[in-house]
Amino acid sequence: MKIVHQPVLKAEVFEWLRPEGDGGLLIDATLGEGGHGEMFLKACPTLSLIGIDADPQVLSTARLRLAPFAEGAPGRVRFFETWFDQFFKTPASGEKADRILLDLGISIFHYAGSGRGFSLTAEEPLDMRLNPGLDLTAGKIVNSFSEKKLADIFFRFGEEPMARRFARAIVMARAGKPVSTARELGEILRRAAPEARRHRRIHPATGVFMALRIVVNSELDRLESALENAVGWLKPGGRIGVISFHSLEDRLVKTFFKGKALEPETGDGAVLRILTKKPIIPGEEERVFNPPSRSAKFRVAEKI
């Protein structure tokens, strides 16, 4: 078992989501390699965990890592290889959660060890699927979508101001031969970028890669659906915490919490109470020690 992902905002997640009496049920809807899950299981002796992940490879690491907590306590840790929106679509029957955590996006394993083309300098096929059951890959998008559709995707999901220029460059490049690796795509976009952008710390292809990943895995649709249904899985007084890594996700979480915290017309009927008026972000030390944490924003709400 090789663990490569460093959980973000560990102390803050524990502080806000530590269950009353250190027991009850935590649903970790993005279990990953089980970093946050392990922290809770270690600190809370009577807590049970439902761990969900769409990716069978990371989930197998979590299964090994968390196995010791289930020894002598069958059922304490349960694993679900599924999309979190699918999981929450099934209404909670009897069993409800004290805490729900969503730590969105992908993990370091996906960049460094999955071989699926998430990293823009990797000589890997353009895949980007979190689960092999999906049909659409990043390669299919890049090599078959129209120039206009590519530009729309890059603008909308990558917030890429040069979306049209990059879409054009891809269409020109693929006219010769299909774009087959992540590195090749990264290079096409680097060459298409104006001189000034090529020398910035952030690679010019970053927004396009993010857009491809979001579309391949339907990330925003899944998040919206999961939030809506996850509230039904919470006990009154239960808490839901979401860590997001880019503005599209964070906006969605913020708007969702606000919508549930107040009935728009009357101010009545609120279902959630927002506990974090402003998102919690990593401190200087974490940002230096774990650079991928830099864009993390953590919001927490409590079911009324």
Ligand X SMILES: C[S@@+](CC[C@H](N)C(=O)[O-])C[C@H]1O[C@@H](n2cnc3c(N)ncnc32)[C@H](O)[C@@H]1O
Residue 237: CB partners within 8 Å, gap ≥ 6? 20, 302, 303
Work out how close the CB of 81 gets to ligand X at its nearest, in angstroms, rounded to a whole number.
9
| Residue with smaller CB distance to ligand X, 44 or 162 | 44
The correct pick among 41, 47, 52, 179 for binding ligand X (CB under 6 A) is 52
- 34 counts as binding ligand X under rule CB under 6 A: yes
| Residue with smaller CB distance to ligand X, 108 or 262 | 108
- 297 counts as binding ligand X under rule CB under 6 A: no
Q: What span, in angstroms and rounded, lies between the C-alpha atoms of 55 and 52? A: 9
Backbone angles phi, psi at 256, to 5 degrees: -65, -50
- 84 counts as binding ligand X under rule CB under 6 A: yes
Work out how close the CB of 190 gets to ligand X at its nearest, in angstroms, rounded to a whole number.
26
- 5 counts as binding ligand X under rule CB under 6 A: yes
- 139 counts as binding ligand X under rule CB under 6 A: no
Q: What span, in angstroms and rounded, lies between the C-alpha atoms of 131 and 41? A: 26
- 51 counts as binding ligand X under rule CB under 6 A: no
- 83 counts as binding ligand X under rule CB under 6 A: yes
- A 10 A CB-CB count for 129 gives 19
Residues 89-108 that bind ligand X (CB under 6 A): 103, 105-107
Work out how close the CB of 185 gets to ligand X at its nearest, in angstroms, rounded to a whole number.
21
Long-range pairs for 218-223: beta carbons < 8 A, 24 or more residues apart:
219/104, 219/105, 219/249, 220/157, 220/248, 220/249, 220/252, 221/85, 222/83, 222/84, 222/85, 223/85, 223/102, 223/104, 223/249, 223/252, 223/253
Residues 213-232 that bind ligand X (CB under 6 A): 222
| Residue with smaller CB distance to ligand X, 83 or 155 | 83
Q: How many residues bind ligand X (CB under 6 A)?
A: 22
- 19 counts as binding ligand X under rule CB under 6 A: no
Interacting stretch for ligand X, rule CB under 6 A, among 32-40, 90-98, 165-173, 266-274? 32-40
Work out how close the CB of 55 gets to ligand X at its nearest, in angstroms, rounded to a whole number.
4
105's tokens: 């996006």
The correct pick among 19, 35, 139, 207 for binding ligand X (CB under 6 A) is 35
The correct pick among 18, 36, 246, 299 for binding ligand X (CB under 6 A) is 36
Residues 53-82 that bind ligand X (CB under 6 A): 53-55, 58
Interacting stretch for ligand X, rule CB under 6 A, among 52-60, 66-74, 89-97, 169-177? 52-60
Work out how close the CB of 102 gets to ligand X at its nearest, in angstroms, rounded to a whole number.
8
Work out how close the CB of 200 gets to ligand X at its nearest, in angstroms, rounded to a whole number.
25
Which residues contact ligand X by CB under 6 A?
A: 5, 7, 30, 32-36, 52-55, 58, 83-85, 103, 105-107, 130, 222
